[in-house]
Amino acid sequence: MPTETPGAGPGLEPTADPSRSLHRRLASVGRERDAAVVELHALLLRAARFEVNRRGGSLSHLRRGDFEDLAQQSADDALLAVLAKLGEFRGESRFTTWAYKFALLEAGVKVRRRAWQGREVPLEDGAWLTLADAGVTVQHEVETRDLIGALREEIERSLSSRQRQVLVAVALNDVPIDVLAERLDSTRGALYKTLHDARRKLRAALAARGLDLDRRDREEEL
Amino acid sequence: MNTPGNPDPARLLARALGPGGLELTCEECFAELDRYVELELAGSDADAKVPGMRAHLDGCPACDEDHGSLLSFLRA
């Protein structure tokens, strides 16, 4: 249960959580539930519109009506997800905050996929070799150049083909992981697990070569 | 910005190696996201109360965007 009172803002009701009432009514039956579902959909649509409009810059080829369609689809899908997972709400946040994240997720994924629609997703392993070379110049520290050189070798040596594919697409070519998941018929979670395992392998291989990644991590945190 | 032909080596290394240490999965991140964001908005130490979340957000651009979206929406 939450022990803090969240900061107030237009998206957060400042007093005792009225969204608990919505959660209770959604779990009821009959007209009360029907009205609660309509209320929930309106909230989800507000969140979806916010997200679609916020990310609209990547969708300059779309018309205004397309934005609204994306928001409506996102709210519809989020509504189904929220209703299906209603029993998973643990009361550790406001119910509306919990519900909003489904709408924002749906809208974000849809916008990213629409932005990449028709675009080629670079999956070529060898892309790493060229780009890593291009980025390292004599101005960079010897340590950085050594690390990138070793990293390049370990990407070739230590990773599986699938791990290289995901690492290069997501970490090097900035392909959104949801877009890659759609193209590879996978999920965000599964691909991130692949990426995570690849990173762990690379870290272990570089550490075995005597490269101090812990110090580098500490410096990045400063 | 990572542009082909002129990538920033520090960014390349960070993206390739990801965060070190404990890290949530994407599914765990989504499950904790509402609580984490409300803790942040309350000025509480969200990172201490949801261990592994910050590392995951640093390592997963998609979840980091979802986090930014929820934070921005609630602040709007």
Q: What is the pLDDT of residues B27-61, one digit of tens each?
A: 999 999 999 999 999 999 999 999 999 999 999 99
Contact between B41 and A12 using a beta-carbon 8 Å cutoff: yes
Give A172: exposed, middle or buried? Use CB within 10 Å, 0-12, 13-18, 19+.
buried
Minimal Cβ distance to A131: which of B7, B33, B38: B7
In this prediction, residues A75-80 reach a mean pLDDT of 98
Spans of all domains in chain B:
21-75
Contacts of A2 (CB under 8 A, 6+ apart): A91, A92, A93, B35, B38
For residues A31 and B34, give the distance between their C-alpha atoms in angstroms, rounded to a whole number. 29
DSSP state of B2: -
User: In terms of Cα–Cα distance, which of B28, B15, B26 is closest to B59?
Assistant: B15
Chain A residues in contact with B70 (beta carbon < 8 A): 97, 100-101, 104
Q: What percent of chain B has pLDDT over 90?
A: 76
Q: Rounded to an integer, what is the distance from CA A57 to the centroid of its chain?
A: 18
Chain A residues in contact with B10 (beta carbon < 8 A): 144
Q: Is the pLDDT of residue A3 over 80?
A: no
Residue A74 structure tokens: 């996102």
Residue A193 near residue A159, CB atoms below 8 Å? no
Q: Is the pLDDT of residue B1 over 60?
A: no
Q: For residue range A114-158, what is the model confidence (pLDDT) as tens digits?
A: 989 888 887 765 666 655 555 566 556 777 778 888 998 999 899
pLDDT tier for residue A172 given thresholds of 50, 70 and 90: confident
| Cα A56 to Cα A50, A63, A109, A111, A152, distances in angstroms | 10, 10, 13, 8, 36
Contact between B13 and A5 using a beta-carbon 8 Å cutoff: no
Q: Rounded to an integer, what is the distance from CA A126 to the centroid of its chain?
A: 26
Q: Judged by CB atoms within 8 Å, which residues 50-89 of A form the interface with B?
A: 50-51, 54
Whether A5 and chain B come into contact, CB under 8 Å, resolves to yes
Q: Is the pLDDT of residue A82 over 70?
A: yes
Contact between B30 and A101 using a beta-carbon 8 Å cutoff: yes
DSSP string covering A136-190 = --TTS-HHHHHHHHHHHHHHHHHS-HHHHHHIIIIIIS---HHHHHHHTT--HHH
Residue A15 has a pLDDT of 47
Chain A residues in contact with B6 (beta carbon < 8 A): 134-135
Interface contacts A/B by beta carbons within 8 Å: 152
Chain B residues in contact with A110 (beta carbon < 8 A): none
This prediction's pTM: 0.84
Complex ipTM over 0.95: no
Q: Judged by CB atoms within 8 Å, which residues 187-206 of A form the interface with B?
A: 188-189, 192-193, 195-196, 199, 202-203, 206
Residue A98 near residue B68, CB atoms below 8 Å? no
Residue A148 has a pLDDT of 85
